[in-house]
Amino acid sequence: MPWLKKLVGAIVILGGVGAVAGWVGSAPVRLDRETLAKLGPGDAARGKRIFFAGGCTSCHAKPGSQGDARLQLAGGLELKTPFGTFVPPNISQDAKDGIGAWSVEDLANAMLKGVSPSGRHFYPAFPYASYARMNPVDIGDLYAFLKTLPAVAGKAPANSLGFPFNIRRGIGLWKLLYLSDQPVVPFPAATPDPVMAGRYLVEGPGHCGECHTPRDLAGGTKKNVWLAGAVAAEGSGVVPNITSGEGGIGDWSEADIANYLETGFTPDFDSVGGAMVDVQRNMAELAPQDRAAIAAYLKAIPAHPNGYPARKRAN
Amino acid sequence: MRKLVIAISMLALAASAAFADPILDRQALMKERGKIVGGLSKVVKGEEPFDAAAVLTALQALHANAEKVDVDALFPAGSDTGGDTTASPKIWEDMAGFKATNAKYVADVKAAAAAAPADVDALKAQFGAIGSDCGTCHQTYRVKKG
């Protein structure tokens, strides 16, 4: 049966082409020379702002750290998600256990491309899908600030993930779908500066969308319901809708939002809770105009109703 | 004998239902707390002038409110679900930690009332500590449920 042989041959060839395409397409891609040239000499004072806007300590400080201990970036927090347990690594200046031996180019490839110095994909629990929108010069400044922080010895435990999420190469395909340096919400040219500055902080370093936006089955954020709130990736709760849609914060003024980020109090004097407590403490470290910019952006984006199902009442 | 035990426990159940719903009670206390904190916040933000007597009255009310929280009575086993509670199961997994967190809040409020701040800067320091306690407790022991 020559036709069967041909069919099998065709399938083998097609399968082979598919495998090769998948392998090539999923390969880690580093930054180009042009982008790396924009990293600049680095300014630690400016980098401090990026450090707190980026919320690095929320995941990378030892769990439960308070005050200055939050600058000891030893890692070790356990993020229990449906994909498995992610453990943020040691990113202190320890040369062996942390990232003390990294170059600024290494940090840029990690944050903007999700690629490690050894050329492996990082899991997007490290929110580089947001950081990819950052300006290279801010990475250079952040690098300079990280250099001022202490070295802490000790490796954090490894991730514990089930199949197929334990195959790192698969992340390359995920990146083809979701990794982009383009902004999420388009604005016309005449948009006021604070809104644009807020867009950068929220969509880029602040990575607000990572928790506040629902995800699709493959774990990418759904841009058509951006910041509409979501079922929490961890635990049993929800992450609130921060658009002006139903269930969101439409009745908060810009001053209310900025005040919440500074003090942790909502307009009706409930307080910040859950994972947002650490985020708010980071936001309190920013300059007032940065918090005002975030507020201006949140009031300017499209409104959506809650991105999570209504609560089932227990009785 | 068995009937008697059942009768007594049913009576006790009816009594507790009649006198108190711990979820509603603790929510009412938290609402009252929020109102007092809201009033103080206006002074801290400079939206209202600092009036030492009024601030002291508010701090004393906040202290009285804090002392009313009897953790055992307001967070009995089984009250992690029901009504629209947003209490986290972690309260019952780590009751000692929850009580310690509550005790720190009570102590800070008590200290603020005892200190009777004389100007807005003194109030700011007290208010900052109290606000931080709110966040610390809600970070671990409350869950947003939508």
Residue of A nearest to B80 (CA): A314
> Cα separation of A42 and B33, whole Å?
46
- Separation in Å, CA of B2 to nearest CA in chain A: 30
How sure is the predictor about B14, in pLDDT bands with cuts at 50, 70 and 90? very low
Up-side HSE of residue A281: CA atoms within 13 Å toward CB?
23
The answer to whether residue B145 neighbours chain A at the CB level (below 8 Å) is yes
Residue with tokens 């600058």: A71
pLDDT of residue B16: 47
The residue with greater pLDDT, A23 or A113, is A113
The answer to whether residue B83 neighbours chain A at the CB level (below 8 Å) is yes
pLDDT of residue A17: 78
**Secondary structure (H, E, C), B11-76:** HHHHHHHHHCCHHHHHHHHHHHHHHHHHHHHHHHCCCCCCCHHHHHHHHHHHHHHHHCCCHHHHCC
The answer to whether residue A248 neighbours chain B at the CB level (below 8 Å) is no
CA A310-A230-A125 angle, 5° bins: 155
B139 to A273: CB separation less than 8 angstroms, yes or no: yes
Question: Residue A136 above 90 pLDDT?
Answer: yes
- Which residues of A fall within a CB distance of 8 Å from B83? 314-315
How sure is the predictor about B3, in pLDDT bands with cuts at 50, 70 and 90? low
Question: Residue A24 above 70 pLDDT?
Answer: yes
A273 to B135: CB separation less than 8 angstroms, yes or no: yes
By percentage, how much of chain A surpasses pLDDT 90? 82
Residue of B nearest to A67 (CA): B132
Question: Residue B15 above 50 pLDDT?
Answer: no
- Count contacts between A and B (CB, < 8 Å): 75
pLDDT tens, position by position, A156-205? 999 999 988 999 999 999 999 999 999 999 999 999 999 999 999 999 99
- Which residues of B fall within a CB distance of 8 Å from A239? 144
> Cα separation of A221 and A214, whole Å?
6
Q: The whole model's pTM is what? A: 0.89
Domain ranges for chain A: 33-182, 187-309
- What average pLDDT does the segment B87-97 reach? 96
pLDDT of residue B53: 96
- Separation in Å, CA of A275 to nearest CA in chain B: 6
pLDDT of residue A311: 74
- Interface mutation target, options A211, A270, A272, chain B, most CBs of B under 10 Å: A270
Interface ipTM above 0.95: no
The answer to whether residue A280 neighbours chain B at the CB level (below 8 Å) is yes
A311 to B145: CB separation less than 8 angstroms, yes or no: yes
- What average pLDDT does the segment A236-251 reach? 95
Helix (H) or strand (E) holding A81: strand A79-81
- Separation in Å, CA of B7 to nearest CA in chain A: 25
- Which residues of B fall within a CB distance of 8 Å from A265? 37-38, 41, 131, 134
How sure is the predictor about B19, in pLDDT bands with cuts at 50, 70 and 90? low
pLDDT tens, position by position, A282-297? 999 999 999 999 999 9
Question: Residue A46 above 80 pLDDT?
Answer: yes
Of B83, B135, B146, the CB nearest to A271: B135
A237 to B38: CB separation less than 8 angstroms, yes or no: no
Question: Residue A315 above 50 pLDDT?
Answer: no
What is the pLDDT of chain A when averaged over all its residues? 93
pLDDT of residue B5: 55
Question: Residue A128 above 80 pLDDT?
Answer: yes
Residue of A nearest to B89 (CA): A236
Residue of B nearest to A241 (CA): B146
The top-level CATH class assigned to B21-141 is mainly alpha
Of A237, A269, A275, the CB nearest to B41: A269
> Cα separation of A266 and B128, whole Å?
15
B131 to A235: CB separation less than 8 angstroms, yes or no: no
Would you say the C-alpha torsion A257, A260, A266, A267 has a positive or negative sign?
Answer: negative
- Interface mutation target, options A246, A261, A269, chain B, most CBs of B under 10 Å: A269
pLDDT tens, position by position, B55-77? 999 999 999 999 999 999 999 99
Query: In a 3-state reduction of DSSP, which class is residue A221?
Result: strand
Domain ranges for chain B: 21-141
- Which residues of A fall within a CB distance of 8 Å from B89? 236
Question: Residue B13 above 60 pLDDT?
Answer: no
Of A239, A270, A272, the CB nearest to B34: A270
